[in-house]
C-alpha cells in the first residue's frame, strides 16, 4: 500500500520542482517549534507521525476502492481523508500552507462524477503535493525526533570505569582496533595483546549502548557473528606464536562488517542532526 502511494506521489517529480505545497518550505528550512508538542518528550508518543500514517491509510483507501470499482467506498475514503487532512493542517501553523485545498477539492469533484480515469489523475495530483512536502521535511523530522543527538549518549568505559561521551568512546575503540595491527607490524606482540583486550572489553560495552535507541537486541554490527569474530582474535592471541596475517585478517573483517557498515547507517543522521543544531 505504502509502496503504491510512493509510486503515485513521485510520478511527476522532476529535477526542477520546488519542495513544499507552496514552495515556502524547503529541505533547509528550520523545523517549526510547534512540532515539538507532538513528539516525545513533550508527548508520550509521536502524535504527528501517527496522524500522518492514518491520513495515508485513508488516502490509499481511495485508490484501492477505485481499483476494485467501488466508487461508494472511494468516496467514503475520500471524506475520511479530507477530514484528517484539514485537522492535521491546523496542528502546525507554520505548515498550514503545505496543505493546499485546491487539489483535494479537485479529487472530491472527480470522485463525484464517477469517472475513474479523472479520479486517478486527481489522486496523483494530491500525491504530488504530499511528496513535495515529504521531500522537504521527512528526513529533518526523523533526524530530530527519531535519531536525536548522538552527542548526548554516554558509555561506561569498562577499563577506566568512567562515563565517556559516545564520540570519544568510539575514538578509543577505533584506536584499540588499529593498535592491534600497528603493534603486530612492529613486532610488539605483547602490546598488540593489550590493545586486543581493550578492544574486546569496549566492543562488548558498545553493544550495550545500542539499547539506548534499539528496543530489541541488535542483530547487526555487534551481533553474535561479530562477537565470535572478536573471540577468534582472542584465540589467536593465546598462541605462543601469534599468526599476524590471520589476526590482521580478522581485524579487517571487524572493520569491514561491523564498523564500516554501522557507520553507513548511523553517521549521516548523526552528522546531519549535529549540523541542524
The residue behind cell 602490546 is 191
Q: Please give the pLDDT value at position 270.
A: 77
| Domain-terminating residue out of 116, 147, 178 | 147
- Same domain? 120 vs 155: no
Q: Please give the pLDDT value at position 218.
A: 59
The residues, any chain, with a CB within 8 Å of residue 28's CB and separated by 6 or more, are: none
- Same domain? 102 vs 59: yes
- Same domain? 140 vs 244: no
| Domain-terminating residue out of 127, 147, 167 | 147
- Same domain? 143 vs 177: no
pTM: 0.68
Q: Please give the pLDDT value at position 210.
A: 77
- Same domain? 242 vs 160: yes
- Same domain? 132 vs 222: no
For residue 43, count CB atoms less than 10 angstroms from its CB and return exposed for 0-12, middle for 13-18, buried for 19 or more. Answer: middle
- Same domain? 181 vs 122: no
Q: Please give the pLDDT value at position 38.
A: 97
Low-confidence ranges of the chain (pLDDT < 70): 1-28, 212, 215-219, 273-277
- Same domain? 109 vs 188: no
Give the closest residue to 108 by CA, choosing from 86, 87, 136, 88: 86
| Number of domains comprising the chain | 2
Q: Please give the pLDDT value at position 217.
A: 65
- Same domain? 64 vs 197: no
- Same domain? 138 vs 108: yes
| Domain-terminating residue out of 97, 120, 147 | 147
- Same domain? 64 vs 136: yes
Q: Any idea what the CATH number is for the domain that residue 107 is in?
A: 1.20.120
Q: Please give the pLDDT value at position 24.
A: 59
- Same domain? 264 vs 161: yes
User: Can you give the residue range of the structural domain that contains 162?
Assistant: 150-276
Amino acid at each position: 500500500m505504502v509502496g503504491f502511494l510512493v509510486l503515485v506521489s513521485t510520478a511527476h517529480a522532476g529535477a526542477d520542482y520546488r519542495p513544499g505545497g507552496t514552495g515556502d518550505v524547503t529541505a533547509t528550512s528550520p523545523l517549526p517549534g510547534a512540532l515539538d508538542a507532538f513528539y516525545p518528550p513533550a508527548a508520550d508518543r509521536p502524535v504527528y507521525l501517527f496522524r500522518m500514517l492514518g491520513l495515508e491509510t485513508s488516502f490509499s483507501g481511495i485508490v484501492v476502492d477505485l481499483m476494485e470499482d467501488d466508487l461508494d467506498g472511494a468516496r467514503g475514503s475520500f471524506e475520511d481523508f479530507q477530514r484528517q487532512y484539514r485537522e492535521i493542517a491546523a496542528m502546525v501553523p507554520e505548515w498550514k500552507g503545505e496543505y493546499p485545498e485546491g487539489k483535494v477539492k479537485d479529487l472530491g469533484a472527480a470522485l463525484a462524477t464517477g469517472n475513474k480515469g479523472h479520479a486517478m489523475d486527481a489522486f496523483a495530483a494530491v500525491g504530488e503535493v504530499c511528496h513535495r512536502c515529504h521531500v522537504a521535511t521527512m528526513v529533518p523530522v526523523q533526524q530530530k525526533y527519531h535519531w536525536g543527538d548522538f552527542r548526548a549518549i554516554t558509555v561506561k568505559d569498562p577499563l577506566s570505569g568512567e562515563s565517556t561521551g559516545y564520540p570519544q568512546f568510539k575514538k578509543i575503540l577505533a584506536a584499540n582496533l588499529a593498535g592491534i595491527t600497528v603493534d603486530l607490524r612492529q613486532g610488539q606482540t605483547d602490546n598488540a595483546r593489550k590493545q586486543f583486550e581493550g578492544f574486546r572489553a569496549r566492543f562488548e560495552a558498545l553493544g550495550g549502548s545500542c539499547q539506548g535507541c534499539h528496543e530489541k537486541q541488535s542483530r547487526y554490527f555487534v551481533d553474535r557473528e561479530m562477537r565470535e569474530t572478536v573471540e577468534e582474535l582472542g584465540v589467536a592471541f593465546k598462541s605462543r606464536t601469534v599468526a599476524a596475517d590471520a589476526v590482521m585478517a580478522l581485524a579487517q573483517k571487524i572493520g569491514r562488517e561491523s564498523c564500516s557498515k554501522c557507520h553507513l547507517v548511523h553517521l549521516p543522521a548523526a552528522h546531519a542532526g549535529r549540523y541542524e543544531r
